[in-house]
């Protein structure tokens, strides 16, 4: 009779042919479980292809996860400088048509991309802008929209901060800031006044704001079915206010050293500003860099 012998720790030898099928199946199951446990306890880390930084195993691996594609860099001359970032901000939109980009596997893919490259990331939760989204999308009164957006921002952080904590190491730090916090920034109102004055006085900038507003309302109409709001002058003014406030907030963030915006999506108006088309806007915006990302499910997470 042929024997299949293996050398095991402590010189333990097993004659597999003497074991019943049920015993072999149980051993196989236990060995697989032990291998998986060893893999997890060995550090739960793998190297990113973009560098030598070790990252945790993804929460959404394989087909459940996403890989990230860089779809746009502005200004264009900095196209090749996205693999090493010192400080960046991740803009988080609340309640909009692309809210799914900031949850689950898609969010983790973006966070992994940042964690492989940046040293310090400001997660900017746009609750102050979220109130405008709620006014347009839900038809809420301004005071109710403000309360609801504040609550949505806190709930969002409570639901997702585990992902940011998972990727915080001695090499990269994630810190969370809110739009309502930056709306109290000493420079916010002066910058907003500056942006509004430029809107009134510069026809090309005004056209940019109007184009943003039209697209914003059209996108909202597609996702909510409220077509009539696209033609409403009130909602057009609200959409314009959204971009003007967003620009003033980015100026404050830039002043505080957060001049590289990472965002899972394309914002044409911000691209134009980052390309230097409007140098008369607040000075910190002259250093604005914009990196647009797109999660790609076909390849899975790495």
Residue reference for tokens 């446990």: 37
CB 105 within 8 A of CB 231: no
- Does 41 have pLDDT greater than 60? no
If pLDDT is split at 50, 70 and 90, which confidence band does 139 have?
A: confident
The mean pLDDT value for 198-206 works out to: 97
CB 134 within 8 A of CB 140: yes
CB 301 within 8 A of CB 62: yes
CB 89 within 8 A of CB 122: yes
Per-residue pLDDT reduced to its tens digit, 228-245: 555 578 889 999 999 999
Q: Any idea where the domains of the chain sit in the sequence?
A: 9-41, 65-296
Global pTM reads: 0.79
Helix residue ranges, H only, 177-265: 179-182, 188-201, 203-224, 233-255
User: Which pLDDT belongs to residue 43?
Assistant: 42
Q: SS3 of 294, please?
A: strand
Per-residue pLDDT reduced to its tens digit, 171-197: 999 999 999 999 999 999 999 999 999
Q: What is the β-pairing status of strands 260-263 and 289-296?
A: parallel
The mean pLDDT value for 122-126 works out to: 97
**Residue from 115, 150, 143 nearest 129 by CA:** 150
Q: What is the β-pairing status of strands 45-47 and 54-56?
A: antiparallel
Per-residue pLDDT reduced to its tens digit, 265-277: 989 999 999 999 9
The architecture of the domain spanning 65-296 is 3-Layer(aba) Sandwich (3.40)
């Amino acid at each position: 009779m042929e024997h299949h012998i293996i050398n095991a720790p402590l010189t333990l030898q097993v004659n597999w042919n003497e074991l019943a099928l049920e015993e072999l199946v149980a051993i196989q199951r236990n060995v697989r479980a032990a291998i998986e446990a060893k893999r997890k306890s060995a550090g739960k880390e793998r190297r990113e292809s973009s560098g030598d930084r070790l990252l945790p195993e993804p929460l959404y691996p394989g087909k459940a996860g996403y890989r990230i594609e860089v779809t746009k860099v502005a200004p264009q001359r900095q196209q090749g400088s996205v693999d090493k970032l010192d400080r960046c901000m991740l803009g988080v939109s609340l309640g909009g048509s692309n809210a799914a980009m900031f949850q689950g596997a898609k969010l983790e893919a973006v966070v992994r991309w940042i964690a492989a490259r940046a040293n310090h990331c400001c997660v900017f939760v746009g609750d102050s802008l979220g109130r405008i989204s709620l006014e347009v999308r839900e038809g809420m009164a301004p005071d109710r929209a403000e309360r609801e957006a504040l609550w949505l921002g806190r709930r969002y952080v409570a639901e997702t901060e585990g992902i940011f904590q998972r990727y915080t190491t001695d090499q990269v730090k994630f810190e969370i800031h809110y739009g309502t916090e930056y709306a109290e920034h000493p420079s916010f109102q002066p910058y907003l006044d500056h942006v509004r004055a430029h809107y009134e006085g510069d026809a090309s900038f005004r056209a940019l704001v109007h184009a943003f507003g039209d697209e914003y309302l059209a996108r909202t109409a597609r996702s909510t079915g409220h077509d009539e709001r696209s033609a409403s002058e009130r909602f057009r003014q609200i959409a314009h206010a959204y971009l003007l406030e967003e620009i003033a907030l980015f100026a404050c963030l830039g002043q505080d050293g957060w001049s590289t915006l990472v965002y899972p999506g394309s914002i044409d108006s911000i691209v134009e500003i980052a390309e230097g088309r409007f140098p008369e806007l607040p000075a910190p915006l002259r250093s604005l860099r914009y990196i647009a990302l797109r999660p790609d499910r076909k390849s899975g997470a790495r």
